[in-house]
Each structure stands twice: as C-alpha cells, then as structure tokens.
Amino acid sequence: MLGAGVVMLGSFGATAWFSYRAGQNECASTTAREERVAQLAGSAAAERAAEAISKLKVTHETIRQNTLREVVERAVYRDCRHSPDGLRDVNAALTATEPRVDPVAVPPVDAPSR
C-alpha cells in the first residue's frame, strides 16, 4: 500500500511537471506567432506607404499677383488733448455729476430770446 501511494504521488508530480512545461511551450509559441504577425503587418504597411509616397509629385510654382497698395491714415490719439474745462466736463459726464456751466457763455433757460 505504501509503495502504491508513492507511485501514485510520483505519477501526480510527473503529470504536473509535464503540464507545466506544456503551458510554457504554449505561451512561447503564442508569443512567437504574435511577433511574427506584427512583423508581417509592419513590413506590409511600410511597403504600402513607400508605394504611396513614390506616387507623389512635388512641384514648385511661383505665384505672381498684382498687389494693391492701400494707404490708411490713422489718428494719433496721444496728440489729442482736452482743455482743462473740457476734461472736467468729460470727467463729470463719466461720474454722472453735474458739469460746471459758465453762466456767461450759456444763457438761462427762462431768458427771453433776442
């Protein structure tokens, strides 16, 4: 009985060992097959790309066209200046306060027309 048990354990060990080796061989063959497919696909793609590139024609053309000259005059705003009274009136308008009015320059509203 002891001898049969030893033989049976040896048989299980040998089966496990051969199964493990078979799995390694399967994995190696799958990897080799995938690498070969990738290599074939890469070389086929490179051939197609080289064929497409060889069909391209490079041309150099000079395009001549008439140009229109436009003269644009732009105001130089740094030269624009307000008088002190005008600047006060602008600032008053921006701050929504009553501007200073010179009573001599503007007649009152109820003044008779001349």
Would you say residue 24 lies in a domain? yes
pLDDT digits (tens, 9 = 90+) for 55-97: 888 777 666 666 666 666 777 777 677 778 878 887 877 787 6
- The pTM of the full predicted model, rounded to 2 decimals, is 0.35
**H-type helices in the chain, by residue range?**
2-54, 84-94
Task: Give the position of tokens 């048989």.
Answer: 11
Q: Cα(85)–Cα(108) distance, rounded to whole angstroms?
A: 20
- Does 30 map to a domain? yes
Check: CB of residue 100 under 8 Å from CB of residue 92.
yes
Which tokens hold the place of 78?
């740094």
Enclosing H/E stretch for 70: none
Q: Domain residues for 44? A: 10-48
pLDDT digits (tens, 9 = 90+) for 16-26: 888 888 888 88
Helices first, then strands: H and E counts in the chain: 2, 0
Q: Is residue 82 part of a domain?
A: no
Q: How many domains does the chain have?
A: 1
Q: In this structure, what are the phi and psi dihedrals at residue 79, rounded to the nearest 5 degrees?
A: -85, -10
Structural domain contains residue 25:
yes
